[in-house]
Amino acid sequence: MGELEKVSFKGEAYRPQEETYFDDGREIELLHFVYGHPRFEEMRGNPQRVLDAIDEYGRTRRYLMNIGEYKSKTIINLIKKEKPRTMVELGGYVGYSAIAFGAALRDAGGKRYYSLEMNPEFAAVISMLAGLAGLSDIVKVVVGSSSSSLEHLFREGAVKHIDLLFLDHYKPSYTPDLKLCEELGIVSVKSVYAADNVVKPGNPPYLEYVRSTVEEKRARLSNGNKSGPKGNPNLIYESHFVEGWEPSGVPDAIEITKCIGIEA
């Protein structure tokens, strides 16, 4: 991370992250801020204007745990390159990533962006702001824990293959939720994963998993912990990380992983 720290964060940062930094009324306050904004009319059907208003709230009022414009660019570039049809995000919060990536997915010819969010109030905020941005046909919000929502989407046949999975929820759930997707068979060859916050706060078990060889995964499975989903150790991954900044200016990175094959 030395190199990253030498490069300065350009632009205006969000307010600093306080001890209590979400679920204290600020998400509803954000709705009032957006709907009472003098440029509200310009936001209708315009994802960028809605993102600008969310950023303005984060910079001038209170911190929001959004991916922010810097790290978003990495994932928008990935969407342009991979042209996913179906994207799933784990952890939607107030819809910043759903709006930024849902719009990019639509522009790249994609079909559906599922935003899985366990907090029903946050889920309502995502639906409202994605609707305001004109993305109701693309962004579908699913309320509940990520694992139960993934099972539900699979069982009802809505999601057969995830082209691009964005992990941005509870950090210890990244690995078991990815393993669940592997077990359900909804990720496989050509699936790409983008995992946020692998530096801040960090996620060593996830990095270890996606950077392991098939042999290492098989060995761990036969020796070790039998609780939770076992995943599919036969999927071959290529993984690397892309540096960026939190919207508050703190260095962070996104781990980008591609499934490039299955070992028999």
Ligand X SMILES: C[S@@+](CC[C@H](N)C(=O)[O-])C[C@H]1O[C@@H](n2cnc3c(N)ncnc32)[C@H](O)[C@@H]1O
Residue 118 Cβ vs ligand X, minimum distance, rounded to whole Å: 4
Query: Closer CB to ligand X, residue 115 or residue 257?
Result: 115
Query: Closer CB to ligand X, residue 55 or residue 117?
Result: 117
Query: Closer CB to ligand X, residue 146 or residue 257?
Result: 146
How many beta carbons lie within 10 A of that of residue 223, not counting itself? 7
Distances (CA, A) of 34 to 37, 103, 133, 212, 238: 5, 19, 11, 44, 40
Query: Closer CB to ligand X, residue 127 or residue 233?
Result: 127
Give the pair of three-digit tokens for residue 226: 């039998």
Residue 218 Cβ vs ligand X, minimum distance, rounded to whole Å: 27
Residue 17 Cβ vs ligand X, minimum distance, rounded to whole Å: 11
Residue 246 Cβ vs ligand X, minimum distance, rounded to whole Å: 10
Beta-strand relationship, 164-167 and 86-90: parallel
Nearest to residue 26, comparing CAs of 66, 62, 65?
62
Beta-strand relationship, 139-143 and 112-117: parallel
Query: Closer CB to ligand X, residue 65 or residue 187?
Result: 65
Please state, in angstroms and rounded to a whole number, the distance separating the CA atoms of residues 97 and 78: 14
Give the pair of three-digit tokens for residue 174: 């990244």
Query: Closer CB to ligand X, residue 141 or residue 259?
Result: 141
Residue 196 Cβ vs ligand X, minimum distance, rounded to whole Å: 7
Residue 216 Cβ vs ligand X, minimum distance, rounded to whole Å: 26
Task: Name the amino acid, one letter, at 113.
Answer: Y
Residues that bind ligand X (CB under 6 A): 65-67, 89, 91-93, 96-97, 116-119, 122, 145-146, 168-170, 173
Residue 219 Cβ vs ligand X, minimum distance, rounded to whole Å: 28
Cα-trace Rg, the chain: 18
Query: Closer CB to ligand X, residue 143 or residue 207?
Result: 143
Q: What is the DSSP letter of 201?
A: I
Please state, in angstroms and rounded to a whole number, the distance separating the CA atoms of residues 11 and 14: 10
User: Cβ-count burial of 7 within 10 angstroms (0-12 exposed, 13-18 middle, 19+ buried)?
Assistant: exposed
Nearest residue by C-beta to ligand X? 91
Please state, in angstroms and rounded to a whole number, the distance separating the CA atoms of residues 91 and 115: 7
